[in-house]
Amino acid sequence: MTTPTYPSSLRTRLMEGVIKRLGLLRRAMTLGVRAAVIDAQGRVFLVRHTYVAGWYLPGGGVERGESFGDALARELLEEGGIALTGAPELRSLHHNRGRDHVAFYVVRDFAEAEPKQPDWEIAEAGFFAPDALPEGATRATRARLAEIFGGAEVSATW
C-alpha cells in the first residue's frame, strides 16, 4: 500500500487543521494601545495606514518587556511624530477580536515636531474636528470619540 502524496500547500493546510482541532496551536493574548490625541482646538489626530482601509486612532501593539505607557509613547512617535509632554489619561480597556485587548488613552499634553509625512506605514495623518471626521473613519474610531465627546456609554468591546 502506498501513502498518498499531497501538494505542499494542501499538506500544510491539513496539518494546520489537525493542530487546531487538537488544540495544540493557540494564539497568545495580545495587548495594544490606542489614543485620542486632542489638540488645543479640540481636534483629534487620526492616521490612515498604507496596508488597511480607513482612518484610525494612532496606536499599536505592546511589545514584550514594554509597558503600556512606553508602547503608547513609541507608537505616537512612529505614527504621528507626536511626543508626550505629560501623562496620558487611561480612558478605558476594551476586548477586541478573540484574545486581543486594547488600552485606550486620551492625550492632551504633547508636542508635534512637524506634520506627519507619508511613509511605508502611514499614508496620511492629521487633526480633525470630532464632528467633521474624514470619510472612512472606522466604526471603532467613531465609537471611542462618541464616548469622549458625545457622552456615549463606554463599550467593553473595541
Residue 82: what pLDDT?
97
User: Looking at the predicted structure, is the pLDDT value of residue 4 above 80?
Assistant: no
- Is 78 a member of any domain? yes
Residue found under cell 457622552: 151
pLDDT in tens, 22-64: 555 566 789 999 999 999 999 999 999 999 999 999 999 999 9
Range of the domain at 142: 28-149
- Is 38 a member of any domain? yes
User: Looking at the predicted structure, is the pLDDT value of residue 9 above 70?
Assistant: no
The answer to whether residues 133 and 57 touch, using CB atoms and an 8 Å cutoff, is no
> What is the count of structural domains for the chain?
1
Of 86, 38, 30, 28, nearest to 58 (Cα)?
38
Q: What is the pTM of this model?
A: 0.81
- Is 86 a member of any domain? yes
- Is 154 a member of any domain? no
As a whole number, the mean pLDDT across the chain is 89
- Is 136 a member of any domain? yes
Percent of the chain whose pLDDT exceeds 90: 75
Mean pLDDT, rounded, for 82-96: 97
- Is 12 a member of any domain? no
The answer to whether residues 58 and 35 touch, using CB atoms and an 8 Å cutoff, is yes
The answer to whether residues 72 and 144 touch, using CB atoms and an 8 Å cutoff, is no
Q: DSSP letter string over 119-156?
A: -SSEEEEEEE-TTSPPTTB-HHHHHHHHHHHS-PPPPS
Mean pLDDT, rounded, for 77-92: 96
Instruction: Assign residue 81 the CATH number of its domain.
Output: 3.90.79.10
